[in-house]
Structure 1
Amino acid sequence: MNSSAPRRLLRSRDNQMIGGVCAGLANYFHLDTNLVRVLTVIAALFSFGTALVAYLAAWVLMPNH
Protein backbone atom coordinates (compact mmCIF):
# COMPACT_ATOMS: atom_id res chain seq x y z
CA MET A 1 0.00 0.00 0.00
CA ASN A 2 1.21 3.47 -0.81
CA SER A 3 2.20 5.30 2.37
CA SER A 4 1.13 8.66 0.95
CA ALA A 5 -2.41 7.43 0.27
CA PRO A 6 -4.99 8.80 2.72
CA ARG A 7 -6.27 6.36 5.32
CA ARG A 8 -9.93 5.42 5.17
CA LEU A 9 -12.21 4.85 8.13
CA LEU A 10 -13.68 1.39 7.51
CA ARG A 11 -15.66 -1.09 9.59
CA SER A 12 -13.73 -4.25 10.32
CA ARG A 13 -15.08 -7.65 9.32
CA ASP A 14 -12.16 -9.53 10.89
CA ASN A 15 -12.38 -8.20 14.44
CA GLN A 16 -16.04 -7.31 14.81
CA MET A 17 -18.32 -8.14 17.72
CA ILE A 18 -21.50 -6.38 16.62
CA GLY A 19 -20.98 -4.11 13.62
CA GLY A 20 -17.23 -3.67 13.39
CA VAL A 21 -17.41 0.05 14.19
CA CYS A 22 -15.19 -0.07 17.29
CA ALA A 23 -12.64 -2.29 15.58
CA GLY A 24 -12.60 0.06 12.59
CA LEU A 25 -12.07 3.09 14.83
CA ALA A 26 -9.32 1.28 16.71
CA ASN A 27 -7.54 0.40 13.47
CA TYR A 28 -7.85 3.95 12.15
CA PHE A 29 -6.47 5.58 15.31
CA HIS A 30 -3.96 2.77 16.09
CA LEU A 31 -5.60 1.94 19.43
CA ASP A 32 -6.44 -1.30 21.20
CA THR A 33 -9.83 -2.58 20.07
CA ASN A 34 -10.93 -3.52 23.59
CA LEU A 35 -10.12 -0.01 24.84
CA VAL A 36 -12.36 1.51 22.15
CA ARG A 37 -15.13 -0.97 23.02
CA VAL A 38 -14.96 -0.14 26.74
CA LEU A 39 -14.95 3.59 26.02
CA THR A 40 -17.96 3.15 23.73
CA VAL A 41 -19.91 1.34 26.45
CA ILE A 42 -19.00 3.99 29.02
CA ALA A 43 -20.01 6.73 26.59
CA ALA A 44 -23.32 4.97 25.91
CA LEU A 45 -24.07 4.79 29.62
CA PHE A 46 -23.24 8.41 30.38
CA SER A 47 -24.57 10.09 27.24
CA PHE A 48 -28.19 9.01 27.69
CA GLY A 49 -28.24 7.22 24.34
CA THR A 50 -26.42 9.78 22.22
CA ALA A 51 -23.39 7.51 21.83
CA LEU A 52 -25.68 4.65 20.85
CA VAL A 53 -27.23 6.77 18.11
CA ALA A 54 -23.73 7.77 16.94
CA TYR A 55 -22.69 4.09 16.90
CA LEU A 56 -25.74 3.15 14.82
CA ALA A 57 -25.08 6.03 12.41
CA ALA A 58 -21.45 4.93 12.04
CA TRP A 59 -22.62 1.36 11.44
CA VAL A 60 -24.79 2.55 8.57
CA LEU A 61 -22.39 5.15 7.12
CA MET A 62 -18.99 3.44 7.43
CA PRO A 63 -18.14 1.10 4.55
CA ASN A 64 -16.96 -2.47 5.21
CA HIS A 65 -13.30 -3.40 5.00
Structure 2
Amino acid sequence: MTYTNAPKEFVRSDSQKMVAGVCGGVAEYFEIDANLVRVLTVIGAFISGGTVALVYLAAWMLMPQR
Protein backbone atom coordinates (compact mmCIF):
# COMPACT_ATOMS: atom_id res chain seq x y z
CA MET A 1 0.00 0.00 0.00
CA THR A 2 1.49 3.32 -1.08
CA TYR A 3 0.57 6.69 0.35
CA THR A 4 0.66 9.61 -2.05
CA ASN A 5 0.18 12.39 0.50
CA ALA A 6 3.48 13.51 1.94
CA PRO A 7 3.41 15.06 5.40
CA LYS A 8 3.06 18.82 5.47
CA GLU A 9 6.10 20.89 6.21
CA PHE A 10 5.97 23.28 9.17
CA VAL A 11 7.91 26.15 7.63
CA ARG A 12 7.79 29.94 7.52
CA SER A 13 5.82 31.27 4.58
CA ASP A 14 7.28 33.25 1.71
CA SER A 15 3.95 34.26 0.22
CA GLN A 16 2.04 35.17 3.43
CA LYS A 17 4.84 37.17 5.00
CA MET A 18 4.52 40.44 6.92
CA VAL A 19 7.39 40.27 9.41
CA ALA A 20 9.03 36.85 9.43
CA GLY A 21 6.43 34.56 7.87
CA VAL A 22 5.72 32.65 11.09
CA CYS A 23 1.99 33.43 11.22
CA GLY A 24 1.70 32.79 7.48
CA GLY A 25 3.43 29.43 7.90
CA VAL A 26 1.11 28.45 10.74
CA ALA A 27 -1.90 29.52 8.66
CA GLU A 28 -0.74 27.52 5.64
CA TYR A 29 -0.09 24.44 7.79
CA PHE A 30 -3.56 24.52 9.35
CA GLU A 31 -5.20 25.84 6.16
CA ILE A 32 -6.75 28.92 7.78
CA ASP A 33 -6.58 32.64 7.06
CA ALA A 34 -3.22 34.23 7.85
CA ASN A 35 -4.86 37.42 9.10
CA LEU A 36 -6.78 35.43 11.70
CA VAL A 37 -3.53 33.93 12.98
CA ARG A 38 -1.93 37.39 13.10
CA VAL A 39 -4.83 38.88 15.07
CA LEU A 40 -4.84 35.96 17.50
CA THR A 41 -1.08 36.32 17.94
CA VAL A 42 -1.35 40.01 18.81
CA ILE A 43 -4.26 39.42 21.20
CA GLY A 44 -2.40 36.51 22.78
CA ALA A 45 0.72 38.65 23.23
CA PHE A 46 -1.26 41.23 25.20
CA ILE A 47 -3.20 38.70 27.26
CA SER A 48 -0.14 36.59 28.10
CA GLY A 49 2.03 39.54 29.06
CA GLY A 50 4.43 38.97 26.18
CA THR A 51 4.84 35.20 26.37
CA VAL A 52 3.29 34.70 22.94
CA ALA A 53 5.70 37.31 21.56
CA LEU A 54 8.61 35.27 22.93
CA VAL A 55 7.16 32.11 21.37
CA TYR A 56 6.89 34.00 18.06
CA LEU A 57 10.55 35.03 18.28
CA ALA A 58 11.57 31.45 19.07
CA ALA A 59 9.54 30.17 16.11
CA TRP A 60 11.21 32.79 13.91
CA MET A 61 14.59 31.35 14.83
CA LEU A 62 13.64 27.66 14.80
CA MET A 63 11.23 27.29 11.87
CA PRO A 64 13.01 26.77 8.57
CA GLN A 65 12.19 29.10 5.70
CA ARG A 66 10.63 27.59 2.62
TM-score, normalised to structure 1, is 0.92
Larger-Rg structure: 2
Structure 2 stretches lacking a partner, 5+ long: none
1:8 is matched with which residue? 9
The amino acid of 1:51's aligned partner reads: V
Q: CA RMSD in A?
A: 1.2
Aligned residue-pair number? 64
1:22 is matched with which residue? 23
Residues 6-60 of structure 1: CA deviation (Å, up to 9, x unaligned): 1110101122100000000000000001000000000000001100000000000
4+ residue runs over 2 A deviation: none
Structure 1 stretches lacking a partner, 5+ long: none
TM-score, normalised to structure 2, is 0.91
Q: Distance in 1 between matches of 2:60 and 2:22?
A: 6
